[in-house]
A and B are shown apart, each in its own frame.
Chain A
Amino acid sequence: MFKIIRFLTAQKSFMLFIFLELMSIILIINSHNYAQTKVHSLKTEISGKINRRLSFIEERINLLKHNKELEEQNTRLLNTIHNPLKNEAINLPGQYEFIPGFVISNQYSFSHNNILINRGRKDGVEPEMGVIGTNGIVGIVQKTSKNYAKVLSVLNTDTKINVALKDTNYTGFLVWEGNNPNNFSVIDMPVNAHIKIGDTITTSGVSNIFPKGINIGKIINYKTVAGRKSYKINLISFMDMTGIGPVYIVKNNYKKEIDSLLEIK
């Protein structure tokens, strides 16, 4: 055994092995980083170009499913428009604009997953914009290139998104624990929120990334977290994260103004 170790460490290839592993680790750490650099922009563009070609067959296979989803979404939107009483004035007028796009590659098996979409800087997409699908939220734009954007999927163990119990002001954080791509948890939901199984969790609008009131998922069970006076809720998302097609990038026209106010503090 010692002979083998001595044989290996005496060789140049051992040093090269260590060097290449370190390089890879640096690249992994950089890919989790939010900072937008020219290199990242080029990487997003290359990745977009490759995956755009490969997604051709997939897009066609899922066409019927996506059509149905869009049809359902249209019905929901028409219902909201024609029932002004139900249409609560929850967001400022003209606060949000939606840029339509399409997913060209989607991951959901790792703990830090990302999605590529076919809209980039030239379409007005910028980092930190929210991305929603036909049935819920999808992620937050991390990096952009001219024609594509890399989206940090909600399937990311580091992401925390502010959410609320539907039609209330009780908020908590949406987290993903890395297991099933359609199961999420909500932590830090105060115990005085009257929740029950089957209730809906929506976006809270607090972060200014997603508009208030987008349905995310349905509560399947919950428990009180000992000593913390809050609930930990498990939910199943309305959005099928393994088959995302059409998406909308959310542009908040007041974001800069709100952020500048927060910075003064």
Chain B
Amino acid sequence: MSLNIKNSILILIFFILQIIWFNHIMLFGKYIPIIYIYPILLLPIEKNDTINLLLAFIYGISIDLASNTGGVFAATAVLVVYLRKIYFLIIKNPSQDLEKIQVSKLSSGQKLIYYLIFILISQFFIYFIEAFGIELVWQKTSVILINSLITLIFFILIDVLFVNRHRQ
């Protein structure tokens, strides 16, 4: 089941954090990390991910509604959910069952690569879909890369402070 209590709380917390960070905080000047994908990355991997897709869409559209951004966050959330399945289909052992893979059980290195890939995808995609063109994305590459770095550090901190401690 995708939507257990832990996931629901995570989604709610990141929903508020993203809106504050996107619309209100001027932390580091122009850098707006796209942190809201964190709970999506932790969703269970399922062969038939209809529920995950719908959940990501509703979650994204709620942020869009609060930020007046149309469907920018929704489009990115849905893309992340879908590409995540392809990513695990490619990296898994042929004998391994897709649904048995758990993000929380990945090694630190595997998790870091997984986070980095999807942070980069979401950051580039969000700027691309918002501007409807690649030209502005190239202009903003340095901002996007710094955003990604801040997001990655933020995710690692959350993992170290809460998720790992919780497991012990």
A contact residues vs B (CB 8 Å cutoff): 4, 7-8, 11-13, 16-17, 20-21, 23-32, 43-44, 46-47, 50-51, 54-55, 57-58, 105-112, 114, 116, 150, 157, 177-181, 242-243
Cα separation A222 to B111 with both chains bound (whole Å):
49
Chain B, range 78-95, C-beta contacts under 8 Å to A? 78-79, 81-82, 85-86, 89-90
- List 17 additional contacts besides A17-B81, A20-B75, A178-B139; criterion CB under 8 Å: A4-B89, A7-B89, A23-B74, A24-B57, A24-B61, A24-B71, A25-B129, A28-B72, A31-B71, A47-B68, A54-B19, A54-B20, A107-B69, A109-B30, A109-B143, A110-B72, A242-B30
Q: Is the CB of A179 within 8 A of B130?
A: no
Cα separation A243 to B130 with both chains bound (whole Å):
22
Output the residue of A24, A107, A109 with the most chain B CB within 10 A.
A24
Report the nearest A residue to B47, measured CB to CB: A11
Chain A to chain B: the 5 pairs with minimum beta-carbon distance, closest first: A31-B70, A24-B71, A27-B71, A24-B75, A28-B70
Shortest CB-to-CB span from B167 to chain A, Å, is: 30
Q: Could you say which residues of chain B place their CB within 8 Å of the CB of A180?
A: 30
Which residue of A50, A57, A110, A177 contacts B127 across the interface (Cβ within 8 Å)? Answer: A110
Report the nearest B residue to A4, measured CB to CB: B89
Given known contacts A112-B131, A179-B139, A181-B30, is B68 in contact with A44 (CB within 8 Å)? yes
Given known contacts A46-B65, A58-B24, A157-B131, is B29 in contact with A27 (CB within 8 Å)? no
Chain A CB within 8 A of B156 CB: no
Q: Is the CB of B74 within 8 A of A24?
A: yes
Q: Could you say which residues of chain A place their CB within 8 Å of the CB of B74?
A: 20, 23-24, 27
Q: Which among B37-45, B48-56, B101-109, B112-120 touches the partner chain?
A: B48-56
Shortest CB-to-CB span from B118 to chain A, Å, is: 16
Q: Is the CB of A28 within 8 A of B53?
A: no
Output the residue of A13, A30, A116 with the most chain B CB within 10 A.
A13
Q: How many residues of B contact A (CB 8 A)?
A: 49
Q: Could you say which residues of chain B place their CB within 8 Å of the CB of A243?
A: 26
Cα separation A54 to B30 with both chains bound (whole Å):
19
Given known contacts A17-B78, A47-B66, A111-B136, is B26 in contact with A54 (CB within 8 Å)? no
Cα separation A25 to B75 with both chains bound (whole Å):
7
Which residue of A25, A57, A105, A242 contacts B23 across the interface (Cβ within 8 Å)? Answer: A105
Given known contacts A116-B68, A157-B136, is B130 in contact with A110 (CB within 8 Å)? yes
Q: Could you say which residues of chain A place their CB within 8 Å of the CB of B139?
A: 177-179
Q: Main SS of the interface on chain B?
A: helix
Q: Could you say which residues of chain A place their CB within 8 Å of the CB of B19?
A: 50-51, 54
Chain A CB within 8 A of B32 CB: yes
Shortest CB-to-CB span from B17 to chain A, Å, is: 10
CB pairs A–B below 8 angstroms (26 shown): A11-B47, A13-B48, A16-B53, A16-B54, A17-B81, A20-B75, A21-B79, A23-B57, A23-B74, A24-B61, A24-B74, A24-B129, A26-B71, A27-B64, A28-B129, A54-B16, A54-B24, A58-B24, A106-B23, A107-B22, A107-B23, A109-B22, A109-B31, A157-B136, A178-B131, A178-B140
Report the nearest B residue to A8, measured CB to CB: B86
Q: Could you say which residues of chain A place their CB within 8 Å of the CB of B67?
A: 47, 105, 107
Q: Is the CB of B70 within 8 A of A32?
A: yes
Which residue of B60, B65, B136 contacts A24 across the interface (Cβ within 8 Å)? Answer: B60
